[in-house]
Every structure is written in structure tokens, then in C-alpha cells.
Structure 1
Amino acid sequence: MIFSKRINKFRIKTKVISIGILYFLFSTVFISCSDGHIKLTTNGTTAYEIVYIGKTSESAYQSAAILKKYIDKIAGTDIGLVGEGSQSTKGNKVYVGAINELTLAPHEVNIQLKDKNIFISGGSDNALQNAVYIFIEDYLGVKWFSPTVEKIPSQNSILIPNTLSFNYKPEITTRTVHSRLFYENDEFADKLKVTTEAFPTYVSDARVHTFHKFIPEEKFFKEHAEYFALRENKRLPTQLCLTNSDVYNIVKDSVASLFQKNPLAKVISVSQDDNTQYCQCENCSKIDEEEGSPAGSLILFVNKIAENFPDKQISTLAYQHTRKPCKTKPRENVLITLCSIECDRSAPITEKCNDFTEDLIGWSKLTDNIRIWDYTTQFTNFLAPFPNMNTLQPNVQLFRDNNAKWVFEQHSNNPSELFELRSYITAKLLWNPDLDIDSLITEFTDGYYEEAGVYVKNYVDLIHAELKKHPDFFLFLYGDPSQAFDSYLNPELLEIYKEYFDAAEKAVATKSEVLKRVKEARLSTDYAILEAAKQNLNSQLSLVFQENPSSANVFIKEKLEDFYKTCKAADINLMNEMGFTVEEYYNSYKKTIEVAIKPNIAKGKKVTLLTKPKKYANENPQVLTDGALGGNNFYANWLGFEGNHLEAVIDLDSIQTISSISTAFLQVTNHVVFYPLNVSYYYSNDNKIFEKLGVLVNDEPLSKTSKINDIKYFEFTFPKVAARYIKIKAENMNTAPYWHHAAGLPSWVFADEIMVE
């Protein structure tokens, strides 16, 4: 009997029921067991066979084979797998494939039970696979927590409710979680229904921030400065001049060439570079003023490019200066990628980022082609505690409710705080934004950490509750743990978090694999403890023993070693997006301990600034001699000078014999923080006449290949002199070089502890 005759025996009636999301249920007459279930397997045997059907039989077969694998694993069966039209050996069937009588949208899934037969279908090959995984997870009880951790129940009898009737069409149709768990494990990505790459269907060489790729500064700027942005009457290669006809022709030809080289690609990015230094020439400015946003000149330019490629999609950014919508509608083949980088992550976007919400609503009125680029981790400190999990669901719901069919959640890609948990719940919410987030977190912590799960959940709950007690705290993507040492990371709470993870380790002490997961989960707490110790918050959170400052704190040294070993065992190699490695952090921290135990006659001494700092460390000059040492982020105990030099005098209280001076400086090149050009040291006994001790020229001058994130000690030794006053001068570059994305803007110098011996 062919499938179409079989399915015609049943009459399908459709009605809509709202349970948070839209489900379509089909009412039918069922033949069922008296207990309200049918038995898919009984005592390790089965009266069923799996039949793959439909025109795309290869895809249906693959999905059916997945189903067979899990049924056999659960029940110990060897359920049959046959194609449609094969001679039947069983009376009951599980049909996997396209049901002709059901018209499903491309992303729609449908699961039905009729007369003890189960029908699993989808509107496309991918949707069919999703439907199979839904059946395995929701009706067979399988859970996938990571590429290597899945929970498969073992039971001789599999019961399926005789009321089974499920239909779902996800409103977010392209779902991406920027996590290597998915990019490196296609099968795991399929199970959680997210993409296996960050930019599916894009031209690989042109995915984002492409202006400099189409018209590189190295090739064009010298002879054609007019192609680039005009800023304060000066051309800079920061962005393109979008009203220059030659720029249009070059970009158009470049796009055509890339599509020709990548014929299977459907999308290319024509988008601004990663800075706000857009063109302010007369023509560009006139358009932007008329359009009410710098997005105006961009959309007009991109629309013009898109006209040439009607069968392709041109992606562009609504990001920073172009985030506010303009008046001109994007063409139908233009994809607007709207970015939420500025938002406070301590609460939902609708509560603390009203401007973004308004911009999203504005773009949704102009176009149905919106791709959200959202952010879910702290990029300056991947492994730092970042209590934003309670914002994930309302943010995804906001995107869904405003026409976003494509959502890219930029996680760290590389491991970060509670990496597996974050990857899991984000993927789940993209599929169904109305899931209960607390139940979702509990499901994961209980499944992944087993007996330790309750303690990990306690940590998650407490740190989020503590953040909520500080409604004015700005949880920033580029922040630092040091900002929270008086709130959700204060010493008392760090001790409680530590105790939770100590208990978690004890609970699974005999389970080596689970214990390894717990050790990875506690990395964020341990990292916060290590960073807190640099600030000398109390006797335990200190780099040295307070009663013996020349000895390193054994607790912190052991914590550093445990942190390093856990990272290495887990193949965790990066501390932040700037490429600062765990190895570098480990070695840098050991150097910090060495500095901390050195004698320093300048410690606690009065500092007088002769130039003015800005914003950071409360602009307090005593930061330079307070004994607390800065980390690899400018929020952590660094005194900053923007566009001006550092000049400071330290009063040693009395004349003392000295022979060495050292000052630490920070470099974060993507945030316009550079080492000083040189550092000069002077001494005096009357604070009026200063003798020059010497000058240290930076032996690592800034270049395009400079290390993005690092700390450098400008240490100078000299023959002993008697001195009371020490002067330090650090020469700022003043402005970023012309080739830097912040060209023309003031550059920063950040200094920390001044050491005098």
C-alpha cells in the first residue's frame, strides 16, 4: 500500500492553541492503550518499523537513521528501517519524510500520531531533521548538553502519548550562536538547531567590516585620498567617501568579482569598518542631514550596489553611528544587520537600552530583512563572571517581535564563563524564545554537572541576584571584574562562590569527567579571585602576606596554578578577544607577584600630578603608589591620560638612596591605548630643581602588527643617588596614527604602580 492511500484514511482538522508560542494541533481519532499511551517498544522488542518517505529520500533516510539509532540505544532494540514501498514486516510504522497532504512552510515541523502510526515531517530537509530531533528529545527523553555529553534514558518500553500532535514554525529562521561547540561539531549544532558557521551563505572573504577590503588604504590612499573619509578638513582612511563615484565603481566591481569566485554564496557584506570616523564631506553630510542619520549615505550607497545583483543579498551594518534608521527604505535584497554593542547587559535591552529598542522598531518599519547582531559575553575578559543570563530571553523575544528572522548571538566562540551552559541556553532560546529560562538552566546544570549541578545553579542564581541589588551598575561588554569588587564580586561573595564550587567538586570527587566539568565551571570565580588579589582587598585576597610583604600569598599562588592547569587540560587558550593568551596571563601574573614582593619605598607615598588624567581610577593620583596592581584591562587600577602626557612627582617623605625606578604601562591597541613613546625619570631634593636620571625609549614602537593587549615595565637602573622627590614623564603619541581605525582621535597612556628601590 502506498503512503498517499494510507494517509488519506484520516481526516485532519486544524486549530490554533496559544501556549506562549503558536502550536498547531491536529485532532484525530486514535487507537491507543488504555493508559493513554502507545508502546513504541516493549521489553526490548518492537512492533514498529521506521519508513522513510518522500521525494528527498536521501535526506529522509538520514533523518530516519538518526531516529533508529536513538530508539535502539534507549530500548536495546534493532528497529527496522525501510524505504517507502518496501515489503512490510511490521504492522505499525514511524513515517519520516514529506507528507503530501500537509503543506508545510520551509521551516515548519509536524509530528502526529494516527491509528498507532507516527508521522514525522518538515517543510524542508533541515526542518525534517529538526522534527526528528524534537521527537527524540521531547518524546524519547534524550538530552544533548555538549558535543560529548548526552543523556540517553535506558528503558525496555518506550511509551508515546496517544494525544501526540505537534506543529511548530520557528519565527527566527536563521539561528547562530557564536560558539566553537557548534562550529566544530556539526552534529551537535544540528541537535540544537543552530547554524554550523557564523555567516552561512556569505562570501567568506566579505562577511563584515568590508570597506577596507574593497578599497585598502595601502593600495589607494597615497594617490587617491579622496576615496576616503573627510574628517575636520583632512582625509583619513578610516571609512569610505560614499558619494564618490569612483568608490562606487570599485566596490561594485569588487562585489561582482567575489560573487563570481563564490557562485554558491548568496550574501556579501558591504559595510562600514569598525570605527565611527565616517565621511563628513559636503556631499555625504548633506545626505545624512536630509536622512536624519549617517545611515542615510550608507543605505543609498548599498541600495545602489544592490541594484546590480538582484538575485543576491547585500548585507550592511546598522552599527554605532549608522544604528539609527534613516528615511530611505533598504531595497528588498538588502539585509540590515543591527548591532547592540553599546547596551548595558545588567537588564533587558527594553529596560536599559531604550535607544536600541527605538532603532530596532524604526528599522522594522522600513524592512523585513533584519539580522540582529547581539552580544552575550565580556570580550575583554572571556573567563570573568558576567551575570547577564536573565537578559537573554527578553532580548531574543524583543528581536523576534520586531521582524528579526536572523539572529546572530556573538558569544566568545572560544571558551568563556560557563561556556557550555551559555551555548546551550542561547541555542534553546533562539529556537523557542518562550521557554522558561530558570527551568532551562536547571535542566542543564542537573544534567551536565550531575550531583554538583545544584551548587553550580546556586552560584548562577546568587550572582544574578546580587547584581540586581545594584540597579545603577553598567554591565559592559568591555568591562572588567575590578568594577564589581564592591558589588556582586565583593570579597564576602567571592568566598561564598568559592564555597559553592568547593562543595560541587566534593559532590563529584569520584567522577573524573564530571569533576573536570566543575573545575572548568569555577574558572570564572577563580579568575575573579586572582584579579581581586591584585587590588589587595583583604588578607586572603592579596598578592603578599600582609604580615610579611616580601612573601607571596600561598593561597593565590596555588589558585593561579590551579587556574592554569584547568585551562590547559580543557584546551582553553584565550583570555580575551585581543588575543591575550592563558599562557601570557599566567606568566604576566607571576611577574606581577614578583613585582608585588619587591621592596618599594614609593609605596603609599604622596603623588602630585602635573598633568590631568581622565575618567579612570577616579582620576586619583595615589593609584600610582597604592600597592594595587593593574590587570590587562584599563578599568583595573590604571590611571589614564587622553591626548596628553603623564607627568607626576612622588614625595618619598625624606631623602633616600635609590638606584632603580620602574613604571608599568598598558597597551590595548584596538581601544587606542598605546605605550608611551618614551619615559624620562628625574630626581630632586627640593621639588624645584630636578636632575635627569635618564630616558627610556619604547623599544616596541606601535605598528599594524603590534601586540594588541600587553603590559610593559619601563625599568631604569642607575648609580645610587640621594633623592626625596622623583619625577616621571611619559610622552603620549597624542593622536592615533593615520592608518589606525581611530586616526585623528586622541590616544591614551595608562600607567600603574611606580616602583622605587
Structure 2
Amino acid sequence: MNHPLIIASGNQELDANIPFLEKQLEVLFQGVKEDSSPLEGLTIRLKSDSSWSESQYRLRIDRSDISLYSSSSASMQQAMVHLLELMGLKLLGPELYSIAEESAQKFPQQYEYTYTRPFAFTSLLYPDAYEPAFRAWYGIDWYLDDFGVWGHSFDQLVSPKAYFDSHSEYFAWYEGERHAEALCLTHPEVRNIAIQNLKEILAKNPEAKYYSISQMDDLIYCECDRCADVNAANGGPQGSLYFFVNQLAQTYPDQDFVTLAYLYSSKAPTQIRPAKNVITMLCPISMDRGAGIKEGARNQYFKKEVLDWKKVQERLFVWDYTVQFTHYFSPFPNFESMTENIKFYHEMGFEGLFMQGYADIPGSLYALRQYLLVQLMRDPDLDASVLTREFLEEYYGKAAPYMEEYLLTLADAQKKSSKRLGIYGGPVQAIFSYLSPEIMDQLDQVVTKAEKAVRGEAHFAKRIAAVRMDLEYTYFEQAKYYGKDQHGMYVPSATGYSLKEGLNARVKAFADQAEHLGAYELSEAGPGPQQYYQDWLGYQTFATVSHRGESADYKFISQPSTEYNFKKTYGLQDGLRGSSDFSYNWTGWYGDSPVIEFTLSDTKPLSRVVLNFLEDQRHWIFLPEKVKLFGYYKNHWKLLAEVKVGDLEENWLVDRRTISLMSSGKRKFSKYRVEVSSLKSLPKWRKRRNKMPMTMIDEIEIY
């Protein structure tokens, strides 16, 4: 088959794309049949047209004559991609092509299409986005190229290392103290230093389109008198933020700056208007990912925030979150909301999208996720369900129907549960929604069918094996939660309880496979695959315990936080200790002190009570001040034992502390009470507005 004749435009910038087109045509023609007559004898003319903006192109087909009109190299390449896709060539991943013979046979004789890029900036953080060829095909930007400074940047504008010790007044006055984590945004010298440092940054990166002037990743903001006045007039701490950002932006009026509307600055200021060269990047970190922004009841707060922002400025970006950051290899059924939200952003006139995913880690169904994102960022009017079906057919072959069933099973289970779907959840939280034992059984059966369907087809089988990995990881995480119960990691044995046969080998196989795929961490800043395996082995050394409390009657006098009370009182008497992960096998009291009563089922006197507490100060989990044990006798509570924990120290390591309360054992009381005195307030190094200390107990062991 004769390849098309390509006629250059005479514009060197546009014609530099000709080798790209020739290479892709070679791939296409190697895959189509020789009798694909609609593709015979074509002439492709590149035409430079300055009447088109850099974000536009025009494609015109008149029988065998094809014309591509553009004014920029990037848009010309997009016109070429459009043509290639009409011919039947698709790109699923770097060097991973799909050739649709049907499209080649139905190549149009007459066709005219004008494209205008829907967003000025689109970028995503997924494995294949690191490949320039993949980005170029879909017209996706690379955030590190476009931004001279990215993300949280105040420490680059005014360095705490350089100034905090000598000029603490440059930094935030918060809860009665100066904090290096934030700036005093109304201090004149802070502005001067920031402007000077910004000048140097601009000089180093003159080609960048945007520069971030953004708060740090913390809840601290300045409450000095000056900042407080500005904030009071603007509905919150976003006031002093835009007071500061505008001053820097007005110094360089021809340069675009981006600032994050994040945590305490998420709402629009009520008086100050962002400068024309300031773009606000909204960061909806708390949204319910089980529903879209438009219809999701839990997301109406963010919809209102968007509408409020549109009243004060037109230029909006969004930094959206599209995966579960605590468990990269666990199913996360957010596909519908993820794709619907892109359409919402387009309808609301957002100028740019940054979609954060697994970064360069091949997490759960990453290829499908990134494919849907790049397609919809390029054209938000596309049908996500059609795109999904097409991708599944090309990527999973004969297993595609089962993969569609897999996705529908997860999505339906999540919807029926009406539970919130968060980016910091996981397999244990999902036990009560889309990863219940019943759903896990269904998913296992579906994946087994998929495995059989592609047996002997190595490339498809490898992709289904990655889906099996997700279920394996989910099973391991849930097995730690279930412990000695059904679905747990332990089974009854002659000596008590033993690990399920072959389970360690399965975890090791998962770790090896994840490592082979290039996963260097299994969650954001979490353990790598081999460390996960070592942690799994380490947990077994202390996970189970047998004690009299397993048959006792426990009662909460003070109620734990709903979010950390999955097993109710059973969680304190199931014979299962907690690991360093606070999200399961720990019962937590937030801003309250635990008080638990228990009644023994036997007549033996009590000799000892053992409690394990978690310390994870990063997540506001602290050791208590003291613990008391009481016995009830003749309508009176008698103090049997008291242990003071000791002075509180700053500790950024995760630790478990065991406290034993000894009783004389001479008298049998009708019931007992454990009273834990939690911290009344957070220490200064973790003090944050609207945050309280949490106390966590994994088991109350009775001997």
C-alpha cells in the first residue's frame, strides 16, 4: 500500500512535525490490510494559517486531498493525531498502539473539523504522563515545564532557615506563638524579600508560563493584628493571602501567577479581588469521590465555592485528586465522578486542570484512568462509558466483558452503600461498602473468568494479573482487620491460632510482582513492596493475644469516634492487636477520654489489665496522661491501680506504648472500669485550629 504524500507548509516550526506523522503512518500501515483502499493515494497538505490561535487547528478532507491548518507546532501535531485516529490508529500508552481496521475502511471522503483547545493548561500525574511522546499525542502539558515554581512555595520566597531565628516577626503569629510553617503576609519586609527572591526565580526560568505563589501544606496562618484585620474584612485567612499575592503579581503585571485555594484558603475573599494575572487553583481535597460535583449531596459545598469564586475572578485552575493515596493497589470506584467532574470544570469555564494520580507508580487500573483523563481533557464532550468500553476491548482482549463486569460490580456496590468515598480511605473502610466479603467473592470470580479468557495470550494475561494484584492486596489488608475471625489471616489450630497456610508466600509474591512493575511505594510516602512484606512478617510477632477479656462483657461509657469504631466494643476484646496503621484494629476517641467498663464471665479475681496505646503525632494521636483501673464493690468504685504515662515529648515516629495495671487479685468485683485521661489540648508543636488530640487503644487485655 502506498503511503500518503506529505506536502510541507514552508513553515519550519510546523514542518518539524513531519517525521512524527511519517512514523505514525508507518505504524498504521503495518497493521491495516493491503486492501484498505480508502487510505490509498492520499495527499496530506500542511498549511500555515496565522488566523488560527495557537490552541486551534482545522482538519479538512476532500476525497483524497487532506489539509491540516495551524499556526503552531503543538496544534499542528494535534491535527495530525486527529487524522491518524480517523484512520484507525489509537495510542493506549507509550508505544502501545491499537489499530481499528473498521475505521480504516470507513475513512471519510468528506470531512471538516475545527478544534479549539478546551483548557489552556492540562496536566496529569500518572505513569505514562512522564513520557513526552504520550503527552504530545494527547496535547497534555508537563507541569514542571510550564511552571517556574510549582505547588507550595512560600518557603522559596521567604526561607524559614534564613530568617526565622533572626526575624521571627516575618512568620505567622498563630495560637499565641510564631510559627515557621507560614508567613506574616502583611509584613512589609516579607513582601520586599519575596519580591526580590521572585525576581531571581523569574530570571532563572524565563520560559515558564506560570509561577506558584502559594501557602505551605499546613493549617497555620498568621493571626497578628494586621493580618486579622484583613482577614476579618474578607471572610477568612484567604484575605491576607490575596493581599500578599496581589502585591507580588502587580510587580510583574505581564507574568501569570498561580496560588492554591487550599485548606484554610479554599473560599473566595469577600472584598479583595485577585489581580488579572493571578490564577486561583482550587484544591477540593475533601470531596466525596462516590459522586460528581453537580449532583453529589456531599459535594454541594464545593459547587458553592466554585460559584463564589466565579463572582470574584474568571481565571480558575483546579488541582483534583483522582486516586486513593493511602492504598495505591486497592480498587477505587471513582471513575464516574472523575470523568463527570471534568465536564463540570469545562462548563464552569475553568482555565486549567491538574489531575493528580499515582505519579510514576502503576497503581490500580492506572492505564484506564489516565486514558479517560487525557481523552476528556482533550474533549470534555466525549462519552466516558464509550471510551471505557473501547479501552477495555483493546487493552484486555477477550477479558474485556469481565473487566466491564468488574468495574460495574464495584461502582454499583459503592452507590448502593451510599457511603462516602474518600481519597484517604482503604480496603478496611470499604468493607462496609464496595469491598464487603460478598463483593470480594464476586470480584474474585469475575477476575478468575478474565484470567481464563486470556490464558495463553501473554500481554493480556499480564494486564489481568495486575488486576488480581489489587484483590490480593485488598485481601491482605482486610485479613489483618478480620484477624481470628472469618476472612482473617488466622485460623484455629491445636495451639490456639495459626497463620493461614500459604499466606506469607502470597504476600511475598505480591511484593515481588509490585517491585517488578516498578512500584517503589504502595501509598503516598508509604512503604515499598519489600518493606510491606517485612512489616507483614513483623506484625505476626505480636498480632494475636489470648486473654480473659475475650469472653467478658465490655461497655463504652464514653463513646469513641464513629470513624474509628468499626468493631464497636468487640474491637477491644477480639484478641487482635493493632499495627502502626491507625486506620484499622484501633479504637479512637477524638477530643474525649476513653472510659470502658467490663464484667468478667468467670469467678476468678482480676490480677492485671494491659492496654496498648498508639502514638502518631503527625495524625494528632497522642499517648494519654494517665490510666486508672477501678473495681465496683458495694455500690462504690474503688481505685485499684493508676499509671502515669510521663512527660509528653515531641516525637514524629509512630510508636506503640503498653501500660499494665496491676490488681491485688484478692477480691472479685462485680465489674471493673478503665478510665483514661487523654490530653486536654494539643502541644504547641501540633496545635492547630479546630484540631483536638486523639487517644487510640487496640485491645484491653485482661488476665
Q: TM-score, normalised by structure 1?
A: 0.80
CA distance in 2 between counterparts of 1:537 and 1:599 reads 12
Aligned-residue CA RMSD in angstroms? 3.7
1:518: how far off? 0.9
Q: Contact 1:734–1:748 at 8 Å: present in 2 too? A: no
Secondary structure, aligned partner of 1:164: strand
Q: Contact 1:75–1:154 at 8 Å: present in 2 too? A: yes
Counterpart position of 1:19: none
Pick closer, same or farther for the CA change 1:359–1:144 going to 2, 3 Å.
Answer: same
Q: Contact 2:28–2:99 at 8 Å: present in 1 too? A: no
Secondary structure, aligned partner of 1:575: coil
Counterpart position of 1:528: 474
Pick closer, same or farther for the CA change 1:293–1:660 going to 2, 3 Å.
Answer: closer
CA distance in 2 between counterparts of 1:582 and 1:526 reads 13
1:749: how far off? 3.5
**Bigger shift: residues 728-737 or 301-310:** 728-737
| 1:93 equivalent in alignment to 2:43 | yes
Counterpart position of 1:65: 22
Paired amino acid for 1:526: E
Aligned residues: 684
| 1:338 equivalent in alignment to 2:282 | yes
Counterpart position of 2:614: 665
1:639: how far off? 1.8
Pick closer, same or farther for the CA change 1:311–1:713 going to 2, 3 Å.
Answer: same
Secondary structure, aligned partner of 2:246: helix
Secondary structure, aligned partner of 2:395: helix
1:142-197 Cα distance to aligned partner (Å, 9 max, x none): 222222532235799866310222222121232112112212x11122223322x3
CA distance in 2 between counterparts of 1:152 and 1:208 reads 39
Paired amino acid for 2:212: S
CA distance in 2 between counterparts of 1:115 and 1:513 reads 38
Q: Contact 1:67–1:132 at 8 Å: present in 2 too? A: no
Counterpart position of 2:221: 278
1:391: how far off? 0.8
Q: What are the equivalent positions in structure 2 for 1:387-406 lying under 5 Å apart?
A: 387-406=333-352
Counterpart position of 2:99: 152
Within the candidate set 123, 126, 145, 2:71 is matched to 123
Pick closer, same or farther for the CA change 1:662–1:740 going to 2, 3 Å.
Answer: closer
CA distance in 2 between counterparts of 1:251 and 1:546 reads 65
What stretches of structure 2 of length at least 5 have no aligned partner? Answer: 35-39
Q: Contact 1:655–1:685 at 8 Å: present in 2 too? A: no
Within the candidate set 249, 253, 260, 1:310 is matched to 253
CA distance in 1 between counterparts of 2:627 and 2:524 reads 32
**Bigger shift: residues 526-535 or 442-451:** 526-535
Q: What are the equivalent positions in structure 2 for 1:474-493 lying under 5 Å apart?
A: 474-493=420-439
1:86-114 Cα distance to aligned partner (Å, 9 max, x none): xxxx985212x3334x7322111222123
Paired amino acid for 1:98: K
1:506-540 Cα distance to aligned partner (Å, 9 max, x none): 22221233222112123333333223323339965
Pick closer, same or farther for the CA change 1:735–1:290 going to 2, 3 Å.
Answer: same
Paired amino acid for 2:420: F
Pick closer, same or farther for the CA change 1:226–1:642 going to 2, 3 Å.
Answer: farther
* Structure with higher helix content: 2
Q: What are the equivalent positions in structure 2 for 1:49-448 lying under 5 Å apart?
A: 49-55=5-11, 56-75=13-32, 93-95=43-45, 97-100=46-49, 103-114=51-62, 116-137=64-85, 139-147=86-94, 149-152=96-99, 160-183=107-130, 185-195=131-141, 197-203=142-148, 206-326=149-269, 327-352=271-296, 353-413=299-359, 414-448=361-395
Q: Contact 1:736–1:744 at 8 Å: present in 2 too? A: no
Paired amino acid for 1:94: I
Q: Contact 2:54–2:70 at 8 Å: present in 1 too? A: yes
Q: Contact 1:275–1:741 at 8 Å: present in 2 too? A: no
1:293-338 Cα distance to aligned partner (Å, 9 max, x none): 4322211211111111123222111222222212332112111111
Paired amino acid for 1:362: D
CA distance in 1 between counterparts of 2:53 and 2:316 reads 20
* Structure with higher strand content: 1
Pick closer, same or farther for the CA change 1:71–1:745 going to 2, 3 Å.
Answer: closer
The percent identity for this pair of structures is 24
**Bigger shift: residues 530-539 or 369-378:** 530-539
Q: Contact 1:237–1:739 at 8 Å: present in 2 too? A: no
Pick closer, same or farther for the CA change 1:600–1:51 going to 2, 3 Å.
Answer: farther
What stretches of structure 1 of length at least 5 have no aligned partner? Answer: 1-43, 78-89
1:254-299 Cα distance to aligned partner (Å, 9 max, x none): 2112222323333221111223332233322222232234322211
Q: Contact 2:414–2:433 at 8 Å: present in 1 too? A: yes
CA distance in 2 between counterparts of 1:232 and 1:681 reads 32
| 1:589 equivalent in alignment to 2:536 | yes
CA distance in 2 between counterparts of 1:516 and 1:679 reads 54
Secondary structure, aligned partner of 2:351: strand
Secondary structure, aligned partner of 2:318: strand
Secondary structure, aligned partner of 2:482: coil
